[in-house]
Structure formats: C-alpha cells, structure tokens
C-alpha cells in the first residue's frame, strides 16, 4: 500500500532570517516561538525576556514586521512547524512563473495550475490542478510532501475588462500575473494590470456566458489520478531546478503496522429470514426484504402533468406487472416478451394498491403548485392509511437552470404538510437503456418510505447512541444548513431527524438530549455517545454537549468521529500490486495519531464487479476520531470498532443497491439539508422528521 506522499529533506539544514518584536497593524506575518530558536532568547535575556514569540516574513518583511530586529539561524530539523512554513514559501516561489497559476489554499497548501495539453474550446483554457502541502511525521519519520490531484478548472480567454455586461459580483477567482486571487479582494496595486486579469469560470459565469460545463468520464479514478501525479512529478518535482529540497522519487509505502481492516461480519447484510449477503442487489433478488411494512393499508397515487398521462400508464404497468421487455427469437424471428424486473408487490412484499380517480393531474408547471394544493385539500384520506405520491416530473431534477426548478421542492413540502411521503421519477426515465438497474433503487426507496426494512446490519453492537450530523450549503440562498439524523438503532435503522441553520447549536444540543432520553427508555442505558460529524467540531461546541450530559447525570464517554463528506482528494492510498490499483473494501490505514483512511467500495475481492459489470472507484474517506472525555482513551481496538460502525452505516443506504462510501449518518442529513432550505419557512414539517421522504 502506498500513499500519495513523497519523503524529502532540505538540502540545507538551517536558514537565516530576521525576527522582529512587533508586527504592522492588520498584517499577517509568520510567528516564531521561543522554543524554535531558544539560543536567541538565551543570548538576549533582558531584551526578549517578556516575549514568548517574534515575527518574521520570508518575502516582504518591511511591510508586515517592525520593532527591534534580530538575525537568527534556525535549524529546520529542530523546528518542524517553522520549517513547514519555510518549505511552503520555497515551493511557492519555485512554481511562480513556472506554471500557469499558483496560490495558497485556505489551509496554506500550495495550489498549482498547469495548462492541459489538449484544449477543447477556444473560449477558455483548461488547467489541471494540483495541491502540495509539506507535513511532518504523519506516516514516516521525517518531512513528507503531500501531492494530490484536484481535477480541472477553466479560465476565460478574455480579461475581466471585456465583460462589460455582467454583474461583477458573480466573478470569483481570477488569474493575474501567474497568481490566483479573488476578484473582490484585488488591491489597487493589482488592478494596475486589470486588463491582464482573467476570470476563472464558475457556475454563474457559465450560465451568463452560455458555456456548457464539460463532463469527463473517468473509467478508473485511481489510475487517472496516479497518472497525473506521476506526470507532475517528472515535469516539476524531480528536476534540477528544484534544488533546495531533496525529494525521493517514489511514493511512501505504508508500514504494515498502520494497515488494518474492518471485521468480516461488517460486510454482511441481513435479508428475509435472516439470510446473509454482502451485495444489496443480489440479497434483495435472492431473499427479498428483511421486513415488509407493518401497515397493511398503503395507497399509491400519481401526480403528473396532464400531457404526460401516457408516461403514468407506463409506470403504472411497470409497478403492477413488472418491467416487460422483448427479445428476438432467432428461430421464429418474432419479438418475445420477458419480465426484466419484478412487479412492485413481488419485490417489496407489499401490494401495489391504487384507488380509482385518486391521482392528481395539473395543467402546467406554472400552475402545478396551486392545482396540487387545491386537490390535496379535498382529497379524502382514511385514518391509519399510508399514502404514497408518485410524482412523474416533466422536469429533470438536475436541470437547475430551469425557471421551474423550485416546483419539485414546493410539491415535496405540500405533501409533507399532509403527511404524505413521495417518490419523484423523471417522466422519460423508463426510456433509459439502464432503467432495469434504476428500478430496484426506486422500489427500495419506496419500501423504506412506507416503513419497510430492505436490509439491516448483521451485527450485535454495543449500546451506543449514534447521532449523525451532515450539512449542505445552499448556493441559491448563500447559507449552510445542517441536517441531523436522530437517531439510529443499534442495528442501523433510522428513527428520526431534523434540519436547521448551521449556527443553531442550541437546537443541536437539544436534539441530542431528546435522542438520549428516547434511547434510555428503549435500551435502558447508553454506554457511549458517538457523534458522526461532517467537520471538525469546535471544542466549545463539544463542551456544550458534555455539560448537557452532566446535567442529565449521565457519565458516559462522548466520541466525535469527523467524517469528510466528500471522498478524500488529498490523502489517498493505492495498491501497486492490484491491476486497478484500488485496495480491498474495508481496508483501514492509520496515517496520523487519530486520523484514518477507510476504503469503502464494492471491491470485496480482486476482480469484483458491480451489478452493471463495472467497478465503482470510490476514493477512501478520511476519518478523525477524538474523545471529548479526557478519561476515555481511543486505543487502536476502539478506533477499529468505531471505524467498523462507519463502514456498516455506509451499507444501510436505501436509495440505491450500490455500495456507498459515505455512511448514512452523514449522507442522510446532508440530503435533507439540501432540500429543506427551499421550503417556504426553511423548516421541516413534523411528518418529515420521522419518514425517509428524501430518498
């Protein structure tokens, strides 16, 4: 197993810099602490006695530093924190002018843009993006250079001075003199070259300029990424010009003691009759769902645009009779029918029942919300009956540029207000050649929405209360919303959720308290509170949770499991001995004291393929585990147990039969947080807190 890290050493072990006692107001110089050059403090005890740190700058010290000046030689091996800043400076100055653009990212990593060899369009230029970040002893015994590939970005081949008819607030990054900057933060000095400032294309700018975003098919992310990294190394890192750092020419091999795997039972799922299978698609096909809905009174009805009635009839036939296709009999030359997929009743073990004249038809998307609202107001509803609306949408949900894009959310909200769960299907979906693979996903989601259990975990976990918190930033309203899944049973079954604004910590603490009280009633006692969180939780936030537990009289450990909501595109591992380079699913790599990579894919063995005969090349997810309780130590066996939980929860995704890389503790809340901001009051109706309507 290799990681995308390169070992390196500075050619010179020391560097001489000037340190200052003061900094210029509103500037951001580098801080050098007393323990990084103790000799200076020892030499000037009377002058520096009151100072715990001094200031410096590698490039423009006159603009950011002031006060008394001292020259000092620092041993880079004895001051690794300072050394990393110095190495970033060396790399930045090396790449400036050598590549198309360079900048620091939000954590001071160096982002490098290299012009792509092939350019598909004369209106813009495409760049391959790389991130370089020096680090220290995360996997080896010395300095390491993290090198990652961050995909493709495009810049317009036209300066901002020629974009006279657009709202300049939509401009984001720009390229100026080989550096990336945000347009709104350009200084008067930078604007002296405004006619040579080129905007980086973003969604809003693409829409205004009528530029279509390119979608590149990546058959194997591991091979593609490694190919880009190797090319970059040969052209830019393994060169004589980079003469201040000595970089090894092979990626770091992970020590065997840093590699582990999830338990074998973590890959098993239970279906009907407690039958086990690793693959949801095959498990459902061979055994059927773990548990059909408990309510025997379920009614389905359609919502559709009047001109799409023929699509409704097609879907009605598919659900009632199954997906019927034909093949050509070469003996007779006739087209012969066969059932390509089961009926809804056969697949989810729940009768597909529709009442005559119960569906709702609207005239157009302009009047859809008003007409549906009126129809729902007069729709007779029997107490105790579970109602399911199947909305045959005339608009593809991905068509965000449409003026009717918001209708989908408004219809969802109307139905939730009436206590009706729903399933949205694009009207033309049945014409897709792969519809027989989409149909199981639709029917599994329907089963979950009416209270059934497609499959459950094959495990007997501890009495842990597991709470998931995910988030989604709505670009349309410019705010982040948090979805909280409260909570999950020991078997990984969903119980309830909520959604609120990002900074509403009071709501979060209150919901955890309610979940704990409910859990105690159902399970007598929770041994641990485990929070799957979408970002690093601030200490003051976790302290609020600990204080709440103390007030409840619960002396239980609180563990924060931080899970990157996107696949790890910085640190990733690859197996050079595997033909596809992807490690086996369930592989764990420890690359820092409390940080791990979890490879979470459908590759359970070499040569494994998914149900379409293809592989899903998921990168690993990056996980950080911390105990809020000082007395509770996260040992490796405990960490492995917690990673097992993350892996298992990724198996409980009921929107698809395909393996997911993110656990539902993060994914489900994120899905809710993406939708709820579009509701009228940006709040989730009560029914929506206990139903999987968002699948």
Number of H helices, E strands in the chain: 16, 32
Alpha carbon of residue 182 to chain centroid: 24
Burial class (CB in 10 A: 0-12, 13-18, 19+), 52: exposed
Tell me the per-residue pLDDT of 246-272, one tens digit each, with 9 for 90 and over: 999 999 999 999 999 988 788 889 999
Q: What percent of the chain has pLDDT over 90?
A: 54
CATH 3.40.50.2300 segments of the chain: 292-449
Tell me the per-residue pLDDT of 87-146, one tens digit each, with 9 for 90 and over: 999 999 999 999 999 999 877 889 999 999 999 899 999 999 999 999 999 899 999 999
Q: Which numeric CATH code is attached to 458-689?
A: 3.30.420.10
Q: Residue 178: CA atoms inside 13 Å, Cβ hemisphere, count?
A: 8
Report the distance separating Cα 322 and Cα 337, nearest Å.
Answer: 12
Sign of the alpha-carbon torsion through 272, 266, 671, 626:
positive
pLDDT-based confidence at 289, cuts 50/70/90? very high
Examine the pLDDT at 240 and tell me if it is beyond 70: yes
* Least confident range of 166-170, 504-508, 613-617: 613-617
Q: What percent of the chain has pLDDT over 70?
A: 94
Instruction: Give all strands (DSSP E) within 137-225, no chain letters.
Output: 143-156, 173-176, 179-182, 198-199
> Taking the model in full, what pTM does it have?
0.87
Q: What is the mean pLDDT of the chain?
A: 88
Predicted confidence at residue 610, as pLDDT, reads 46
Block residue for tokens 């609020």: 544
pLDDT-based confidence at 476, cuts 50/70/90? low
User: Which CATH superfamily does the domain covering 292-449 fall into?
Assistant: Response regulator (3.40.50.2300)
Tell me the per-residue pLDDT of 439-473, one tens digit each, with 9 for 90 and over: 999 999 999 999 999 999 887 667 888 888 887 77
Predicted confidence at residue 319, as pLDDT, reads 95
Tell me the per-residue pLDDT of 303-353, one tens digit each, with 9 for 90 and over: 999 999 999 999 999 999 999 888 777 877 788 888 889 999 999 999 999
Q: Residue 133: which of 102, 105, 113, 114 has the closest Cα?
A: 105
Burial class (CB in 10 A: 0-12, 13-18, 19+), 195: exposed
The helix/strand/coil state of 473 is: strand
Report the distance separating Cα 379 and Cα 375, nearest Å.
Answer: 6
Examine the pLDDT at 388 and tell me if it is beyond 90: yes
pLDDT-based confidence at 613, cuts 50/70/90? very low
Query: Residue 124: enclosing H or E segment and its boundaries?
Result: strand 124-136
Report the distance separating Cα 646 and Cα 651, nearest Å.
Answer: 9
Strand 573-574 versus strand 53-56 pairing type: unpaired
pLDDT-based confidence at 276, cuts 50/70/90? very high
* Least confident range of 199-208, 495-504, 574-583: 495-504
Averaged over 679-689, what is the pLDDT?
83
The 3-class secondary structure across 325-345, one letter per residue, is EEEECCCCCCEEEEEEECCHH
- CB proximity list for 190: less than 8 A, separation 6 or greater: 176, 181, 197
Q: Which range has the top average pLDDT, 78-82, 510-514, 663-667? A: 78-82
Report the distance separating Cα 159 and Cα 198, nearest Å.
Answer: 4
Q: Which own/partner pairs from 104-107 qualify as long-range (CB within 8 Å, at least 24 positions apart)? A: 105/131, 107/133
Predicted confidence at residue 540, as pLDDT, reads 80
Q: Which two tokens stand for residue 578?
A: 């595997």
Q: Residue 278: which of 289, 288, 287, 266 has the closest Cα?
A: 266
The single-letter DSSP state of residue 200 is B
Predicted confidence at residue 526, as pLDDT, reads 79
pLDDT-based confidence at 568, cuts 50/70/90? low
CATH 3.30.420.10 segments of the chain: 458-689
* Angle, CA of 314, 319 and 320, to the nearest 5°: 95
Q: Residue 596: which of 647, 631, 558 has the closest Cα?
A: 647
Examine the pLDDT at 489 and tell me if it is beyond 70: no
Predicted confidence at residue 509, as pLDDT, reads 83
Predicted confidence at residue 612, as pLDDT, reads 46
Predicted confidence at residue 462, as pLDDT, reads 74
Block residue for tokens 């760049």: 127
Examine the pLDDT at 565 and tell me if it is beyond 70: no
Q: Residue 204: which of 173, 227, 237, 246 has the closest Cα?
A: 173
Q: Residue 271: which of 263, 282, 283, 281 has the closest Cα?
A: 283
Report the distance separating Cα 210 and Cα 214, nearest Å.
Answer: 13
Q: Which two tokens stand for residue 644?
A: 């097992």
Q: Residue 438: which of 611, 626, 263, 639 has the closest Cα?
A: 611
């Amino acid at each position: 197993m290799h990681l995308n890290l390169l070992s390196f050493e500075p050619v010179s072990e020391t560097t001489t810099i000037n340190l200052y006692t003061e900094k210029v107001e509103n500037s951001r110089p580098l801080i050098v602490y007393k323990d990084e050059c103790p000799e200076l403090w020892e030499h000037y005890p009377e002058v520096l006695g009151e100072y715990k740190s001094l200031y410096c700058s590698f490039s423009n010290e006159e603009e950011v530093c002031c006060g008394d000046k001292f020259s000092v030689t620092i041993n880079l091996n004895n001051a690794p924190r300072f050394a990393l800043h110095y190495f970033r400076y060396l790399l930045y100055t090396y790449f400036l002018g050598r590549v198309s653009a360079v900048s620091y990212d939000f954590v001071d990593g160096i982002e490098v843009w290299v012009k792509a060899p092939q350019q598909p369009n004369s209106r813009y230029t495409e760049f391959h993006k790389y991130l370089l970040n020096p680090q220290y002893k995360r996997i080896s015994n010395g300095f390491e250079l993290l090198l990652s590939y961050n995909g493709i970005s495009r810049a317009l081949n036209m300066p901002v001075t020629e974009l006279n008819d657009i709202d300049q607030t939509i401009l984001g990054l720009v390229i100026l003199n080989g550096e990336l900057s945000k347009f709104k933060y350009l200084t008067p000095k930078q604007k002296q070259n405004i006619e040579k400032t080129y905007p980086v294309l973003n969604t809003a700018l693409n829409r205004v300029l009528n530029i279509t975003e390119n979608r590149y098919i990546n058959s194997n992310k591991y091979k593609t990424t490694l190919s880009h990294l190797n090319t970059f190394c040969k052209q830019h890192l393994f060169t004589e010009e980079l003469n201040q750092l000595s970089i090894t020419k092979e990626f770091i091999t992970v020590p065997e003691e840093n590699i582990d795997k999830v338990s074998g039972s973590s890959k098993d799922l239970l279906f009907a009759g407690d039958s086990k299978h690793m693959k949801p698609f095959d498990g459902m096909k061979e055994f059927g769902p773990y548990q059909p809905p408990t309510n025997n009174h379920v009614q389905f009805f359609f919502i559709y645009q009047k001109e799409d009635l023929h699509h409704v009839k097609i879907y009605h036939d598919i659900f009632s009779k199954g997906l019927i296709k034909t093949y050509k009999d070469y003996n007779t030359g006739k087209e012969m029918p066969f059932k390509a997929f089961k009926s809804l009743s056969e697949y989810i073990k729940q009768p597909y029942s529709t009442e005559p004249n119960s569906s709702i038809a609207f005239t157009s998307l302009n009047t859809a919300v008003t007409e549906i609202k009126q129809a729902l107001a007069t729709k007779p509803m029997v107490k105790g009956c579970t109602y399911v609306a199947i909305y045959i949408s005339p608009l593809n949900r991905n068509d965000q540029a449409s003026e009717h894009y918001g209708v989908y959310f408004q219809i969802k909200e109307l139905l939730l207000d009436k206590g009706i769960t729903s399933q949205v299907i694009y009207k033309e979906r049945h014409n897709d050649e792969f519809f027989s693979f989409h149909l199981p996903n639709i029917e599994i989601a329907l089963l979950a929405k009416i209270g059934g259990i497609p499959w459950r975990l094959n495990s007997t976990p501890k009495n842990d209360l597991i709470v998931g918190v995910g988030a989604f930033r709505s670009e349309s309203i410019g705010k982040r919303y948090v979805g909280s899944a409260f909570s999950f049973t020991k078997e990984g079954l969903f119980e309830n959720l909520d959604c609120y604004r990002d900074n509403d910590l009071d709501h979060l603490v209150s919901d955890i308290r309610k979940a704990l009280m409910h859990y105690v009633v159902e399970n007598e006692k929770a041994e641990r509170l485990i929070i799957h969180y979408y970002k690093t939780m601030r200490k003051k936030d976790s302290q609020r949770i600990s204080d709440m537990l103390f007030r409840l009289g619960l002396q239980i450990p609180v563990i924060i499991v931080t899970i990157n909501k996107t696949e790890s595109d910085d640190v990733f591992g690859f197996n050079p001995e595997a033909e596809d380079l992807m490690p086996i699913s369930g592989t764990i790599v420890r690359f820092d004291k409390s940080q791990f990579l979890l490879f979470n894919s459908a590759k359970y063995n070499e040569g494994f393929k998914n149900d379409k005969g293809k592989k899903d090349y998921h990168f690993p997810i990056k996980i950080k585990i911390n105990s809020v309780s000082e007395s509770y130590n996260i040992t490796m066996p405990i960490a492995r147990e917690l990673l097992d939980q993350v892996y298992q929860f990724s198996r409980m995704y009921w929107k698809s039969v395909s393996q997911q890389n993110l656990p539902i503790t993060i994914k489900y809340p994120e899905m809710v947080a993406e939708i709820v901001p579009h509701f009228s009051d940006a709040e989730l109706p009560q029914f929506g807190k206990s139903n999987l309507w968002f699948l």
